[in-house]
Amino acid sequence: MPKRAFWPAILLSILIAAGAAAPALQADTGDRVRAKIGIQVVSGDRVTRAKSRDRLKAGDLLRIYVHPERGCYVYVIHSDRRTATLLNTVEQRLQGTTLVMPSLHQYYQVDGKSARESFTIICSPRELPGLAGMLEEGQAPHDRWAALREDLASKSRIDLSQKSEKPFAIAGNVRGAGGGGEGGDPFSGKLQIFSGRDLLVKQYEFRVVR
């Protein structure tokens, strides 16, 4: 599990409000789920956008961004091949906002104790009680989580032809869970659009080197 750099006791999340006050969360009436997703990687002086299968080094810093096109339940799960952990235990329902984890001013830090680190982002117009039940204590054995993840991924049928995606905007002020401030974040404007059917499952599988 990557340790948290300058990390408080309670998990923080940042919500970037999209314009005026958002309406109540509603289920997507269609079968296509889209979201802008990205992981920012800081390695020394380099700042890059992670690919689905990248190599990380111990000490690298990670920040996760998720912005659904429509109101969704969002689940962010980390696994180190031993234990799966639900990272956003506080904020799961999003409407017109961007989830930034651990926060706009903090990062997860790769501790190098595991050769593999994976992050899975799930966006669903409906709550997923099976997932919430498995991770009701915040953690679950990796094998149980991997089986559920594969089942969800087969249902999502992610559309890999990203060039055909029509863009949608991210705009607004920055609000932190602890008050925060206002301003923009350049990385949020560079997020890639991913899509799935019925729900969206996006996985990043990182190999860690020392």
Pair 121, 74: CB distance under 8 Å:
yes
At residue 126, φ and ψ (nearest 5 deg) are -125, 150
Pair 83, 172: CB distance under 8 Å:
no
Question: Token pair 């799935």 is at which residue?
Answer: 196
Question: How far is Cα 34 from Cα 92, in angstroms, rounded to an integer?
Answer: 16
Say if residue 137's pLDDT is above 70: yes
User: Each residue of 143-161: pLDDT tens digit?
Assistant: 999 999 999 988 886 545 4
The pLDDT-based confidence of 32 (bands split at 50, 70, 90) is: confident
Ranges 23-32, 99-108, 193-202: which has the least confidence: 23-32
> Which residues, including other chains, have CB under 8 Å from residue 191's CB and lie 6 or more apart?
36, 37, 38, 65, 67, 170
Mean pLDDT along residues 4-29? 39
Q: What is the pTM of this model?
A: 0.76
Q: What is the pLDDT of residue 183?
A: 45
Q: What token pair was written down for 54?
A: 């990248």
Buried/exposed 114-136: b ≥16 CB within 10 Å, e otherwise: beebbbbbbbbbeebeebeebbe
207, 194, 205, 196: which is closest to 35 by C-alpha? 194
Question: Token pair 């889209």 is at which residue?
Answer: 34
Q: What is the pLDDT of residue 184?
A: 61
User: Each residue of 120-134: pLDDT tens digit?
Assistant: 999 999 998 888 788
User: Each residue of 40-93: pLDDT tens digit?
Assistant: 999 999 999 999 999 999 999 999 999 999 999 999 999 998 999 999 887 788
